[in-house]
A and B are shown apart, each in its own frame.
Chain A
Amino acid sequence: MKTNNYLALLFILSISTIGYAQRDNATGAAQPNTFRQLTVEPGIGIHTNFGTDLLITNLVQWNSHKRWSFGAHSSYSINNIMLQDFNYVHTDYNYSLNQKFGAGMMFNRKKGSHTFMLMAGIKYTAYKETLNHPDLDKASISISAFSPDYGILYSAKRGWKKYFFTYRMYLPLYPWPIKGSNILYTEGNMNNLALEFGIGMKVK
C-alpha cells in the first residue's frame, strides 16, 4: 500500500511540476490569437458511474498548425470514493492511473476552440476489498492490473487570453463499449466516460 501511495504522490507531483515549470516561461500579458500554442490544462472530473469516482487530471496540448493538435493526458482517479463500506465489505484502497498520448484536430471559434483527439496509452488500476462479517470467515482480495487505454478526447476551451476555462470529455474505446444489441451491454465502458473541468494556461 505504501508503494501505491508513493506512486500516486509521484504522479500528482509530476503533473504539478509540469504546470509550474511551464508557467515560469510564460509572460503575464495576454497572448495573441495565434494557432501555434502550448497549453497546460489541469482539471478535476468524474466518471459517469453515478459520479462516484474523483479524477485529478491534466492535459498538455500543442497546436502545431492551424488544425493539427497533439496532446498528453494524465489522470489519477480515486475510484468509488463515496462508498468505502457496504454490507460488511470494506474498500481498503481503489485507484487508477492513466497516461495517454494522442493527436487530432482543433477547430477555432470566436470565443474559444474545440479539439477532437484520438488518444492511446496505458491504465493501471489497483484496489483491495475485505469482507469482515461477524458471522463469516474474513476474506480479502487485492487486484492490480495494467490495461491498454484508448479512446476519443473532446476538449473545449473558452477564452483566448492567457488563462481560459476548459472542459473535456473522454470516451474510452477499450474494452470496445458495445457488446451487443442490448443497450445494457454498454455499461462496461460507459462507466468510464470521463467529464472534466479546469482552468487552462497558455505557456507558449
Chain B
Amino acid sequence: MKKQQTWMLGLGVIVLLSLLFLQSCQVEEFDPALTKSFSLQSNTNGANYQIKVGLPEDYFSSSEKYATLYVLDGEENFEFVSNHSKEISTNNQTQNVVVVSIGYGQDRSMDYTPTKVSSMTGGGAEFLEFIKNQLIPTMERDFNVDTTRNGRIIMGHSYGGLFGACVLAVDNNLFGNYLLLSPSIWFDNEVVLQLEKLNRANNKDRSQLVFLGIGEMENLGRMQAPFEAFYLTLRNHYTNIKLSKNRERNLDHMGSRNPNIISALNYYFSNR
C-alpha cells in the first residue's frame, strides 16, 4: 500500500509539472482578420523576407494614420508584440500602432550586425538599405500609416537591439523611436558606441524616444557595462530625448525579453 502511495505521489508531481509546462507553451495568436502577410526580396542581399502586418482593431473603420512599429526577430515576436500593443494602447486610451514584423531572410547575426568579425556577421548596412528603400516605402504606400520619422518605431532584442542602436547612430532620420532590449552593445569592441560618437553632433539635438531594457541576471561579463555606457551617453549628450532604462529583476537574456517588450510598449504608449 505504501509503495502504491509513493508512486501515486510521484505521478501527481509529474502531472502537475506537465500541466505547468503545457500552460507555458501556449502560443497566443493574433487575430487572423487583422493580420496581413507578404514577402519582399531584398535588392541588396537577395534574401527573401517574410513580412507580417498586425493592424489595429479600428483600422478599417478609421481614416487616421497609424504609427508603425517595426519588429526584428519577427517570427518569434509578432504575436506577442501585436497582442500587447493592442492591450496596452487600449489601457492607455491611445491609438494603437501597425505592427510590422520582419522575418528572417538570412541568418540574424548577418543582418543585425554592423561589422564583419566572422563570416556570419556584418550585413547590417545591406539590411538597413532593405528596410529604408523597400520595406518602409511599401508599408507607406500600401497601408494607412504615418510617414513621418516620429511615426516610426523600431524594436529589437539582443543583436536586434544592437541593430536598432546602430540605426540610431548612423541613420537617425529613419526612426524617431527606439525600443532596444538587451542590446549587444559589446559587439566588435563596442563599435556601436564609436559610431554613435562619430555621428553625435548630427543626432544629439533631434527629438527621439529611447527605451533601453535588460535583464538583471545578464551577468556573463559583456552586457551590463556597455549597456550602461550607452545609457549614460544618451542621457548626458542628447538634449531632446525621452529616455528610459529598465532592468528586469532576476531575469537573464532570454527570460527578460518579453517582460521588457511589455515595459517598452508601456513607455512608448505613455510618452510618445
CA A150 to CA B188, docked complex, whole Å: 37
Is residue A169 contacting chain B, with contact meaning CB distance below 8 A? no
Is residue B217 contacting chain A, with contact meaning CB distance below 8 A? yes
Closest residue of chain A to B252 (Cβ to Cβ) is A188
Is residue A184 contacting chain B, with contact meaning CB distance below 8 A? yes
A191 near B197: Cβ-Cβ < 8 Å? no
Q: How far is the CB of A113 from chain B (nearest CB, A)?
A: 14
A191 near B190: Cβ-Cβ < 8 Å? no
A129 near B190: Cβ-Cβ < 8 Å? no
- Supposing A87-B186, A105-B6, A187-B254 touch, asked if A179 and B225 sit within 8 A by C-beta, the answer is no
B250 near A145: Cβ-Cβ < 8 Å? yes
- Provide the residues of chain A in CB contact with B21, threshold 8 Å: 178
CA A52 to CA B219, docked complex, whole Å: 11
* Interface membership of chain B positions 237-258, coded 1 if the CB is closer than 8 angstroms to chain A and 0 otherwise: 0000000000101111111111
Q: How far is the CB of A138 from chain B (nearest CB, A)?
A: 8
Give how many A residues have a beta carbon under 8 Å from the other chain's beta carbons. 45
CA A80 to CA B26, docked complex, whole Å: 33
CA A143 to CA B216, docked complex, whole Å: 8
Contact of A129 among B24, B194, B217, B221 (CB under 8 A): B221
Stretch of A4-12, A27-35, A88-96, A196-204 at the chain-chain interface: A88-96
Is residue A17 contacting chain B, with contact meaning CB distance below 8 A? no
- Supposing A145-B216, A147-B249 touch, asked if A179 and B24 sit within 8 A by C-beta, the answer is yes
Q: How far is the CB of B49 from chain A (nearest CB, A)?
A: 19
- Supposing A105-B6, A181-B25 touch, asked if A136 and B190 sit within 8 A by C-beta, the answer is yes
Closest residue of chain B to A178 (Cβ to Cβ) is B24
CA A147 to CA B255, docked complex, whole Å: 15
- Provide the residues of chain B in CB contact with A187, threshold 8 Å: 252-255
B249 near A129: Cβ-Cβ < 8 Å? no
- Supposing A139-B229, A176-B20 touch, asked if A129 and B254 sit within 8 A by C-beta, the answer is no
Contact of A181 among B27, B220, B257 (CB under 8 A): B27
Is residue B129 contacting chain A, with contact meaning CB distance below 8 A? no
Contact of A125 among B217, B228, B253 (CB under 8 A): B217
B219 near A139: Cβ-Cβ < 8 Å? no
- Provide the residues of chain B in CB contact with A130, threshold 8 Å: 225
A136 near B194: Cβ-Cβ < 8 Å? yes
Is residue B189 contacting chain A, with contact meaning CB distance below 8 A? yes
Contact of B24 among A105, A143, A147, A180 (CB under 8 A): A180
Is residue B8 contacting chain A, with contact meaning CB distance below 8 A? no
Q: How far is the CB of B79 from chain A (nearest CB, A)?
A: 10
CA A67 to CA B219, docked complex, whole Å: 39
A140 near B228: Cβ-Cβ < 8 Å? yes
B221 near A133: Cβ-Cβ < 8 Å? no
Is residue A25 contacting chain B, with contact meaning CB distance below 8 A? no
B25 near A178: Cβ-Cβ < 8 Å? yes
A133 near B190: Cβ-Cβ < 8 Å? yes
A147 near B189: Cβ-Cβ < 8 Å? no
Is residue A20 contacting chain B, with contact meaning CB distance below 8 A? no
* Interface membership of chain A positions 126-169, coded 1 if the CB is closer than 8 angstroms to chain B and 0 otherwise: 01011101011101110101010000000000000000000000
- Provide the residues of chain B in CB contact with A185, threshold 8 Å: 254-255
- Provide the residues of chain A in CB contact with B188, threshold 8 Å: 87
CA A89 to CA B222, docked complex, whole Å: 6
B228 near A139: Cβ-Cβ < 8 Å? yes
CA A86 to CA B225, docked complex, whole Å: 11
B225 near A137: Cβ-Cβ < 8 Å? no
- Provide the residues of chain A in CB contact with B189, threshold 8 Å: 87-88, 133
Is residue B34 contacting chain A, with contact meaning CB distance below 8 A? no
Q: How far is the CB of A133 from chain B (nearest CB, A)?
A: 6
Q: Write 11 A-B pairs (CB below 8 A) sorted by A numbering.
A: A87-B186, A87-B187, A105-B9, A127-B219, A127-B224, A133-B190, A141-B225, A174-B250, A188-B251, A188-B255, A188-B256
- Taking Cβ atoms with an 8 Å cutoff, the residues of A that contact B are 49, 52, 67, 79-80, 83-89, 91, 94, 105, 125, 127, 129-131, 133, 135-137, 139-141, 143, 145, 147, 174-176, 178-182, 184-189, 191
Knowing that A133-B193, A140-B225, A180-B258 are A-B contacts, what are 16 other residue pairs whose CB atoms are under 8 Å apart, sorted by A's residue number? A52-B220, A80-B221, A83-B222, A84-B221, A88-B189, A127-B219, A129-B224, A129-B225, A136-B190, A141-B228, A143-B219, A143-B247, A145-B250, A175-B250, A180-B25, A180-B27
